């Protein structure tokens, strides 16, 4: 049999802590495509790639951190895990916990998670509680539950999550031969920006990577984008009632706020806001022109790069990787709306070839 990708714990064993490797719980996560995006290169004057994290087993980047978090919990003999989630973490935690034979409790903001994610968590047997409060309230409750009861917290404040998620940076460097000039990603609870920065630093021989030969000669500049209605790091203070159509990043008080600022400042980067309109426009460019279907939050990075390009702030010729974090099928309703907000109506025809050809304008 040809070589099959074995999941990030096996593929990057030498770069991950020993305690996640004793009882490995994997669904084959990682090894996601780094896709050149000539349309985005043309629009920005840079050389743009998208790292398509929707290709992970549950359709988002969370699986990288969940294989390590659940493996570590399994190694300790944990019977139950809990997470707060805007949707993707709950889908991923539920799948990996089921695989490990554990109970998974998830706390989600009532009415504010996409249907695809809700169905995943339920399908995988999670004990799903819709909480009367936003994500930030769910996370406070999940942390308290894990302190007081025999359940382990698998949100990204769990360091094992960051260890797994840092492998996306490794894959990018492995694919390109070195770090890109700029790495771009959406920012919500700020675990992923923390993880990418850790991964890029380690592969450049810094921090924990000092024990290994350096793979990259440098680290990239990090650009993060928040949704305008949920942009606490941009504002400089927590947002009590965050609002955005990009429900995955509808977060007002990110747990890894300080780490996100460190990644921004140490890399010489930026964290800025994009509006819901810019997110939806980028979502359309990705699906209709690049050929990659993502959920709205995942388009925030592309929206940000397009906005900076319009403002003349994208360095010409720079190599830019934009992580698109979750699959479009998680939250497909946005594809069925036109830019002016009306519903897309499928064209109905009878089953004869003449009508079909005519409807296609082939006659």
Binding residues for pyridoxal 5'-phosphate: 88, 188-192, 325
Query: Should residue 189 be labelled a site residue for ligand F0G when binding is judged by CB under 6 A?
Result: yes
Pairing type for strands 80-84 and 152-153 reads parallel
Contact predicate 48/312, CB 8 Å: no
Q: Which is nearer to ligand F0G, 58 or 219 (CB)?
A: 58
Angle (CA) 197-202-203 rounded to 5° is 100
- The footprint of ligand F0G on residues 31-50 (CB under 6 A) is none
Residue 180 DSSP SS3: coil
- 27, burial (CB in 10 Å: exposed 0-12, middle 13-18, buried 19+): middle
Structure token pair of residue 9: 């714990």
Q: Binding-site residues, please?
A: 88, 188-192, 325
- Judged by CB under 6 A, the residue of 32, 68, 85, 267 near ligand F0G is 85
- Judged by CB under 6 A, the residue of 191, 232, 242, 252 near ligand F0G is 191
- The footprint of ligand F0G on residues 263-282 (CB under 6 A) is none
Q: Is the dihedral of CA 50, 55, 56, 59 positive or negative?
A: positive
Binding-site string for ligand F0G from residue 286 to residue 325, where x marks contact by CB under 6 A and - marks none = ---------x-xx--------------------------x
CA dist 111 to 188, 198, 207, Å? 18, 34, 41
Interface with ligand F0G: number of residues (CB under 6 A): 23
Give the helix/strand (H/E) hosting 297. none
Binding-site string for ligand F0G from residue 106 to residue 145, where x marks contact by CB under 6 A and - marks none = ----------------------------------------
Cβ at position 47, least distance to ligand F0G in Å:
23
Structure token pair of residue 331: 């939250």
Angle (CA) 52-55-61 rounded to 5° is 75
- Separation between Cα atoms, residue 80 and residue 12, nearest integer Å: 26
Query: Should residue 88 be labelled a site residue for ligand F0G when binding is judged by CB under 6 A?
Result: yes
Binding-site string for ligand F0G from residue 322 to residue 341, where x marks contact by CB under 6 A and - marks none = ---xx---------------
Q: Could you list the residues that contact ligand F0G (CB under 6 A)?
A: 60, 62, 85-89, 156, 186-193, 248-249, 295, 297-298, 325-326
């Amino acid at each position: 049999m040809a070589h099959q990708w074995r999941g990030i714990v096996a593929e990057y064993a030498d770069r991950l802590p020993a305690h996640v490797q004793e009882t490995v719980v994997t669904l084959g996560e990682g090894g996601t495509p780094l896709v050149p995006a000539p349309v985005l290169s043309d629009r920005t004057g840079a050389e743009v790639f998208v790292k398509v994290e929707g290709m992970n087993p549950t359709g988002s980047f969370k699986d990288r951190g969940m294989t390590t978090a659940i493996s570590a919990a399994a190694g300790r003999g944990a019977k139950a895990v809990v997470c707060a989630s805007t949707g993707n973490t709950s889908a991923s935690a539920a799948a990996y916990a089921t695989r490990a034979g554990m109970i998974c409790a998830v706390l989600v903001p009532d009415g504010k998670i996409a249907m695809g994610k809700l169905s995943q968590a339920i399908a995988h047997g999670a004990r799903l509680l819709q909480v009367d409060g936003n994500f930030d309230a769910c996370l406070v409750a999940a942390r308290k539950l894990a302190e007081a009861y025999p359940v382990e917290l698998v949100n990204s404040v769990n360091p094992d999550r960051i260890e797994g998620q840092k492998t996306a940076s490794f894959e990018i460097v492995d694919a390109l031969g070195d770090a890109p000039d700029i790495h771009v990603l959406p920012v919500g609870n700020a675990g992923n920006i923390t993880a990418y920065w850790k991964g890029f630093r380690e592969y450049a021989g810094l921090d924990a990577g000092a024990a290994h030969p350096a793979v990259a000669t440098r680290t990239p500049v990090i650009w993060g984008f928040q949704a305008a209605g949920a942009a606490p790091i941009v504002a400089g203070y927590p947002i009590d009632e965050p609002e955005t159509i990009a429900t995955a990043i509808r977060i007002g008080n990110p747990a890894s706020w300080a780490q996100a600022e460190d990644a921004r400042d140490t890399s010489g980067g930026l964290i800025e806001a994009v509006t819901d309109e810019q997110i939806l426009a980028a979502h359309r460019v990705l699906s209709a022109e690049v050929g990659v279907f993502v959920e709205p939050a995942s388009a925030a990075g592309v929206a940000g790069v397009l906005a900076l390009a319009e403002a003349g702030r994208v360095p010409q010729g720079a190599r830019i990787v934009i992580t698109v974090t979750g699959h479009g099928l998680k939250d497909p309703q946005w594809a069925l709306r036109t830019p002016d907000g009306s519903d897309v109506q499928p064209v109905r025809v009878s089953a004869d070839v003449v009508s079909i050809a005519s409807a296609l304008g082939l006659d």
